[in-house]
Structure 1
Amino acid sequence: MIWITAVCIVAIIAAVIVFRPKEAPAQIAYDKLPRLGDANAPVKVVELGDYKCPSCKYFSQTIEPQLKKDYIDKGQVALYFSNFVFIGPDSNTAALAAQSIYHQNNDAFWKFYDVVYKNQGDEKVQWATPQFLVDLAKKEKLPVDYDLLLKDITTKKYQNEIDEHNEFARKNQVNSTPTLFINGKKLDNSMDYNAIKAAIDKAGKGE
């Protein structure tokens, strides 16, 4: 009887695992985020990042170019960016600058994304000041209105959007950056390119 009961318990546990409903993908407003690649790409990858995060710098300089070459340029993946600011007050300042540039020119956003990480300072130092960020945009000759950029930063014009991004991160138990969502599913290891590729390939098959 004990053996039969044990077998039944194991069978019940197995059934629960097999028939447990799959976790629904996170709801993401892709049309409200900066996009790199074709909006109609079958796989949508969202990076949650902080401009002061050293790991995000690695992602932008090492993994993002690989994604672009292997998937984005082929129309298979569209990459999106969402803020998750937590390192310091100037994380939010950098996010305000990026949101302003995005609303002025989506393509300029991705140039700014690259140059901010290339010029990233120490995460323990408040380096991302409004003037530094505007000067950076000017130095790179980004096609945006620099006076408007400075105004948007100082008046915190897009703070509500950053707050929404942060709320999405908290709601979906994001506790580090960068964190990727692939077709709405959170990836556990967003710094392993092989794991990213495997998840993208799986998503591309509709799995």
Structure 2
Amino acid sequence: MSKNKKNVKNVSNSSSKFIFWVIGLIAVGILGLIFLGNFSDKEEEKAGTKQVKIDYSNQPFLGDESAPVSIIEFGDYKCPYCKDFAETAVPTIQKELIDTGKAKFYFMHDSFINVDSERSAKFAESVYQELGNEMFWKFHDLLYKKQPEDTKYEKIDYFTEEFLINTLKEIASDEEIDKVVKNFKENKSKDLWEEDMEYVAKLGVTGTPALFVNGKRFEGKTIDDLKEMVEKEAEGK
């Protein structure tokens, strides 16, 4: 699914960071619909409500694999709202839903901003393939931490291959880095990245970050709304 660039302003402080993230998500989604026109209102409604069967194998996740509910975040490493979500909302989700065994949390890529988005996503997939789930999340968090606040989203060639390798050096050994770089240069992570992007299209994702609970779009505004949706899914409602 093709997507045009979106202009995004820096995030300001809010009394409720989780609510602010949702407001940002709504804004990004609205801009996406205005500029892209990928879905009519009727098509968008269908994409957001239909049940899509999802293969969770070979996807990085947090939590107990036996947890009854699966939450997916679709994100882009160049998206400031995704950075804010990773740093403020995910720790709350971790405490309230993941650590309690109610849900497991997956990350899938929606690389829509520019070539940097795709490059960093594929490199992260290479990290996952070669070094496993735990190292993926360390690299994932580090990428968001190193996301520059003053970089305009249309600017490319910030998340260069050199930048990504240097970032990985902060957490991996030389031998591990060699494995990841070889994987990346041979484009072995392409299939995993393309699988994520196929779900972006199937689920009708129009902005990031976007959450889905057992394949259903999360439309709530607070962590309590998310907890309620998870509980209903766990009960089979």
TM-score, normalised to structure 1, is: 0.82
Question: Are positions 1:175 and 2:202 aligned together?
Answer: no
Q: Cα distance 1:197–1:165, how it changes in 2: closer, same or farther (>3 A)?
A: same
User: In 2, are the aligned partners of 1:108 and 1:142 still within 8 Å (CA)?
Assistant: no
Structure 1, unmatched stretches of 5+, are 1-22
The answer for the alignment partner of 2:85 in structure 1 is 59
Could you say what secondary structure the match of 1:47 adopts? strand
User: In 2, are the aligned partners of 1:101 and 1:144 still within 8 Å (CA)?
Assistant: no
Q: Cα distance 1:144–1:47, how it changes in 2: closer, same or farther (>3 A)?
A: farther
Distance 1:153 1:133 in 2: 11
Which of 199, 215, 218 is matched with 1:187 structurally?
Answer: 218
The answer for the alignment partner of 2:44 in structure 1 is none
Could you say what secondary structure the match of 1:80 adopts? strand
**Structure 1 residue 116: Cα displacement:** 0.6
Which of 69, 75, 78 is matched with 1:49 structurally?
Answer: 75
Could you say what secondary structure the match of 2:70 adopts? strand
Q: Which amino acid aligns with 2:191?
A: N
Could you say what secondary structure the match of 1:145 adopts? helix
Which of 121, 128, 135 is matched with 1:108 structurally?
Answer: 135
Could you say what secondary structure the match of 1:114 adopts? helix
Distance 1:173 1:32 in 2: 22
Distance 1:143 1:24 in 2: 45
Which of 34, 54, 79 is matched with 2:105 structurally?
Answer: 79
Comparing 87-96 with 197-206, which one deviates more in the overlay? 197-206
Comparing 80-89 with 148-157, which one deviates more in the overlay? 148-157
Q: Which amino acid aligns with 1:97?
A: F
Residue pairs, 1:82-101, within 5 angstroms: 82-101=108-127
Give percent identity, aligned residues only: 35
The answer for the alignment partner of 1:138 in structure 2 is 169
Question: Are positions 1:166 and 2:193 aligned together?
Answer: no
**Structure 1 residue 147: Cα displacement:** 1.3
Comparing 124-133 with 169-178, which one deviates more in the overlay? 124-133
Q: Which amino acid aligns with 2:145?
A: K
Larger radius of gyration: 1
